[in-house]
Amino acid sequence: MRVFVYTICKDEVDMIPWFLRHYETFAERIIVYDEQSKDGTREILMRHPKVEIREWTGRGLDDEMFTHFVNTVPAEAAGHADWVMWSDVDELLYNPNISHVLKNANEDMILARGYALISGEKGMYVNHQLYHCVRTGYQQPNYDKYICWRPQIKVAHTIGRHTYQPDWPRCEGMKGMIPKLKLFHCHHVWGVEHTKRINARNMDRAVNKKFAWNYSSAHNKPEQVGTEAWVRHLIDNNLLYDVVE
C-alpha cells in the first residue's frame, strides 16, 4: 500500500522524532509544512529520507488556512498513493498491522477511534515507538477523527475536524469506522504540566481565538476535555488503562 502522510509543524523538536519514527514504518512519503522552526525541528526533518519539507506561509495557528490545505492539497496524490493521511504532529494513527487494514478496507474515508495517550512521567527512549513507552491513556469519543482517505475522492473538512459535528467531514465516497484503527492524541502525553504548557502555547499562537477557546486557562475543569484539570482527574482517580492492546 502506498501512503502519503501530511502534517504542519513549528518548533516540535520534542514530538517530531516520535511522529517520524511512527509514520516511517508504513508511509512512502511524509510531507511536512514547516513554519520556520528554529528549535532543531527543521534539521531533524532534513535528515529524514522520506520527508519532503514545504514552507508554511501562514503565521500562528490559522484554522481557516489549515482547513483549506487539508481539503485541497492531498488531491495531488491521486494516481500516486492509495491513501493519504493528514495528521496533526501530535497524532499517531495506529494498528499493529496498519498496511493490512488499509489494503482490505472497503471505505473511502476511515474514522479512527480516538484516545488520549497519557503518562505522568517524561522519559527518553531511543529507537522505540511512543505508544510502546507510554501505553496508558483514555478513550475519548470527541477525539475520534477522519485523518485517512483515498486521494481521488473529494473531501470537505470543517474547522476542528473532529466528530462532534456529525455532518462533517463530507466526501464523495463511503465513510466508515474500522474499530481496531486507533488515533493516539499525544497532546497530554507527559501529564498535567505538559498539557498546561501546550495549551498555553496553542492559545498564544491561535490566529482566531474563537477557534481556540478549549486552550484557554478560563476553561480548566475536570469535565472539560483537554484541560490540565481533566488530565489531573484521570491520573488522580486511576482512570488510565492500557489503550494499545
Q: For residues 9-32, give the mean pLDDT.
A: 96
* Confidence grade of residue 61 (pLDDT, cut at 50, 70, 90): confident
Task: Report pLDDT for 53.
Answer: 98
Task: Report pLDDT for 39.
Answer: 95
100-109, 115-124, 200-209: range with lowest mean pLDDT: 115-124
Task: Report pLDDT for 125.
Answer: 60
Query: Residue 10 is which amino acid?
Result: K
Q: For residues 143-161, give the mean pLDDT.
A: 93
Task: Report pLDDT for 127.
Answer: 66
Task: Report pLDDT for 27.
Answer: 98
- Residues 113-141, buried b or exposed e (16+ Cβ, 10 A)? bbbbbbbbeeeeeeeeebbeebebbbebe
DSSP 172-188: SS-EEEEEEEEEEE-TT
Which residue has better confidence, 210 or 173?
173
Q: For residues 76-83, give the mean pLDDT.
A: 98
All domains of the chain, ordered by start, with CATH?
3-185 (3.90.550), 192-242 (no CATH)
Element of type H or E holding 135: none
Task: Report pLDDT for 163.
Answer: 64
pLDDT digits (tens, 9 = 90+) for 158-170: 988 876 677 889 9
Find where cell 519514527 sits: 21
Task: Report pLDDT for 122.
Answer: 61
Q: 159 near 207, Cβ under 8 Å?
A: no
pTM score:
0.94
Please list the alpha-helical segments (H only) found in the chain: 16-23, 41-47, 63-72, 98-103, 130-133, 192-205, 228-236
Dump strand ranges (E) for 35-165: 51-55, 83-86, 91-94, 109-117, 136-139, 145-149, 155-156
Task: Report pLDDT for 19.
Answer: 97
User: Distance (Å, rounded) from C-alpha 163 to C-alpha 114?
Assistant: 10
* Confidence grade of residue 206 (pLDDT, cut at 50, 70, 90): confident
User: Distance (Å, rounded) from C-alpha 129 to C-alpha 125?
Assistant: 8
Q: Which residues contact 25 (CB under 8 A, 6 or more apart)?
A: none
Nearest to 228 by CA among 201, 193, 202, 189: 193
Task: Report pLDDT for 126.
Answer: 58
